[in-house]
Structures are given as structure tokens and as C-alpha cells.
A and B are shown apart, each in its own frame.
Chain A
Amino acid sequence: MTFLHRESQVDLTDVVAFDVDGALQETAEEARRQSRRMFLRRSGGAALGGAALVAGMGSSTAMAATPKGDVAIANFALTLEYLESAFYAGALKHAGLTGEHKRLARTVHQHEAAHVAALKKMLGSAAVKRPSFDFGSSVMSQSAFTATAIKLEDTGVQAYQGQAAFIKSQAVFKAALSIHPVEARHAAWIRNIGGMAPAPAAFNPALTKSQVLAAVGATGFIKA
């Protein structure tokens, strides 16, 4: 059965259709090849690496009673939301979006900013800092924006889904559950705009944290 894939992946074959200059495919292929070990070695001090996620955990006050694992998961989510929020802001500024693309970007940007704010509030002093980003050509045209947004949203859904079973605190779990289906709605919306199947499978696949980090790391979007 198709939904039993052990190693769930972003549907890269679908992304390729929009990847005009092949850059996205290249990074996606790289992400695919990258083993977890390789990623951790490379990203030692990088913002998305384990070091930064762990660093935020020591000084928690707002989440003092929250299991450390949940703080790490919330910071993992916050990092993805920082990235998404910045991506839509950049696209709205540079990509010359029109019509439904613009409507989606404005709406989703508001949502991602609200997710950032909510996660930061929940994490308090334990929240990781906002990295700096460079989205390169992905925010410079409507077609590149669409292809990248599809990949980011699909990855976001898979990331939240992959962490669900590891969350211990009901408060953190419910917060994640309120965001998870919204990312899925974003994904379906941008896919429909881009002419791709909005719901490509009966069961949404999940990604592990290391798979998500490898995929994000390979985009080069996070500078520091």
C-alpha cells in the first residue's frame, strides 16, 4: 500500500515541473543524498544544528515545567515558522506576485507570522533566535515562489506530523495540532494554484526531524 512508505519524502518529482532553472531539484537531490551523520557534521555551529536548538533549552522560564524534548520540538517548529514567515515576506516584496498568488502569499504570511508569535510566546526565554535568511532566486519570480512554497508547506506538514508522537505535554501537543492542519491547508492551496494535486495521497507522509533539517539545510536558505 502506498501510504506505508517508511522513508517519507517530499514529492520531488512534482516539484521538478516548476523548477525552471533546476536549482531546486539540485538542492532536493542533495538533501536526499545527505545522511543524517553528514548533516550533523556539516552544520555543527549553524542555526539549525543541534547546538542552537539545545542552547535555547537551558534558560527556560516560561516552559520550566515542560519536558526538554518538547522545548526542542517547539524550537524546531519555531525555526521552520521563522523561515516560512521570512520567505513569504521576501516573496511579497520581490516576486511580483499577482492574483491568487498574491492573495495566498499575504494570507499565509500572516498565518506564519502568527505561528512565530505564538511559539515565541509559548517558549518565552527558551525561544531560539530568528536566523538570517537568503532566499535567493526563489523569491524573485512567481514561478520560483510557487515551486518553493509548495516544497516548504509540504515539508512543514510532514515536520509537524513527524513530531506529534514525541510531544509529551498536552499544551504543546494541542498547540502543534492547531498549526498542523493549517500548514496542510496552505500546502493544498498553493498546490491547487500551481496546478498540482492538492491532496496527493490518502495518508499524509511524515518526516523525521533529521530529514527535515537535512532538506532545509540543503536549500541554503538559512545563513546564520
Chain B
Amino acid sequence: MTDHLTVVEFDDDEAVAEAMAGLDEAGATRGGLFRRAGAVAGGLGVAAAIVPGFLGATANAREGGSKKEDVKILNFALTLEYLEAAFYAEAVNRGVYSGSVLNFAQVVASHEATHVATLKSVLGSKAVAKPSFDFKGTTKKWSTFLRTAKVLEDTGVAAYQGQAPRIHQNAVLGPAAAILAVEARHAAWVRDLLYAGKSVKPAPEAFSTPQSMSAILAAVKKTGFIKS
């Protein structure tokens, strides 16, 4: 059963499948998520300054997409990072972990907080506000903490991979690709902590599978972790 844990793990009553039927509507009515994604982010100049560090390339526009869509994608990413950062912060603040689990929680909490700060600075005034979260006690015990972390990290990888081809500006692609790889490292790390020597592998497949924004949002919504 643990061999194929995915975001669908949370989909006990097939609500994800149901929600996916009305994807576009779900995205459009997603409260504060995308409402402010109206125009080009003033902060994109920051990303342009960052990009050589990620890609060694100039900040050219890519085919497809638009600057407006990039803002939407960045806010989608920011929302996921808010969620991850808050989740790991709660785990660390419980003060119950030690050793490799604490190390994992602390390092990843720091990374996700950095992702939040960077995405916020890139988006500037276009950044969505941080939602409030309820992780429903999943950070209390190491087993549920790590199992939930695994789902969140695998979801993060699928989310960034799904959005990368839709990104218009290389200035946005740079940070996205740099984060994609780090989320994948987190995912492999937590899998190794959970399942070393067992059938579940840190790298389960030769090819990683992307997920659409709508599918990710539906899965995240189903967790009930986002209160508002």
C-alpha cells in the first residue's frame, strides 16, 4: 500500500476526482489564490537579477504563456511553499523530534521559508497573502509527520514539473527549475528516512510525472490543511 502513495492518498472519498471534473471553475473561485494575479509583477526585476545564478542565461521570454500567466504560476507556487513552510515550522516547533528526523525538519523548514521569501520578493505587490493552516495533528508523531511530508514533497515536485513548460519568462523558469530539483531532493530524503531497505524507493520511477495546477489544487484542498 505504501508503494504508491501519491496526492491521491488523501482522496478517500474520491473528492479529488470529483473536483477535477470542475477544474477551471475551482481555479477561478479559489478565493485569494489567484484573484490578485492581474498584471506583471513589479518584482520580476528581482528574478531577472537572480536568474544568472540559476541558469547562466539571459532573461529571454519563452514561447507560449504570458507574463500574466507567470504571475498566476508564481502565486500557485507561493501558496504551496507557504503550506510547506508552515508545516515544517510547526513540526520543528513541537520540540519532540531529534536526530535524523529533526535534522530533516529543520533543513527543509529553512529551505521552504527561503522559497517563500524569494517568491514573495519576485512577486512584490502581486504576491498572494499567506493563508492560515490547520495540519490536523499530522506533525505530532514522526510517522505521520514523515508520511505527510512525503506526500507534500512528491506533490511539490509534480506541481513545479507541471508548471515549468507553461512559464513564459526565463527569469521565472530559473528559480522554478532550481526549486524543482530541491523539492525532488526533499522527496527522496524523506522517502529514505521512512523506507530505507524497504520496497518504497527514494526515486520510485525513471521518469517523473507532472501534475496540472488544477489537480494539485484539488488534492491540496482535499487535505483541509488550508483554512482560509
Give me the interface of A with B, judged by CB distance under 8 Å.
3-6, 8, 99-100, 103, 107-108, 110-111, 114-115, 118, 157, 161-162, 164-166, 168, 170, 173-174, 177-189, 192-193, 197-199, 201-206, 208
Contact = CB atoms under 8 A, between A and B. Distances in A.
B207 A114 contact: yes
B178 A3 contact: yes
Contacts of B209: 178
8 contacts: A8-B53, A115-B206, A161-B54, A178-B210, A185-B202, A188-B186, A188-B187, A189-B201
Contact of A201 (B52, B173, B177, B182): B182
B81 to A, nearest CB: 11
B181 interface: yes
Given A4-B50, A174-B165, A184 B55 contact: no
A4 B53 contact: yes
Given A165-B174, A198-B188, 6 more contacts: A4-B53, A114-B207, A182-B184, A185-B187, A192-B192, A206-B177
B206 A206 contact: no
A158 to B, nearest CB: 8
A166 B203 CA distance: 26
A197 B185 CA distance: 10
A189 B177 CA distance: 19
B197 interface: yes
Contacts of B192: 188-189, 192-193, 198
How would you classify the secondary structure of chain B's contact residues: helix, strand, loop or mixed?
A: helix
Interface in B76-128: 107-108, 110-111, 114-115, 118
B40 interface: no
Interface in B1-25: none
B175 to A, nearest CB: 7
B129 interface: no
Interface in B150-170: 157, 161, 164-165, 170
Interface string B49-66: 011111111001011100
Please give me the 4 A-B residue pairs with the lowest Cβ-Cβ distance, nearest first: A181-B184, A204-B181, A184-B184, A185-B203
A204 B202 contact: no
B189 interface: yes
A120 to B, nearest CB: 14
Contacts of A192: 188-189, 192-193, 202
Given A180-B177, A181-B183, A189-B192, A3 B53 contact: yes
A189 B108 CA distance: 15
A49 B156 CA distance: 36
Nearest to B203: A185
Nearest to B169: A165
B74 interface: no
A182 B208 contact: yes
Contacts of B115: 202
Contacts of A173: 164-165
Contacts of A177: 161, 164-165, 180, 208, 210
Given A178-B209, A182-B207, A199-B111, A188 B53 contact: no
B207 A179 contact: yes
A170 B111 contact: no
B179 interface: yes
Give the one of B60, B111, B170, B207 with max A CB within 10 A: B207
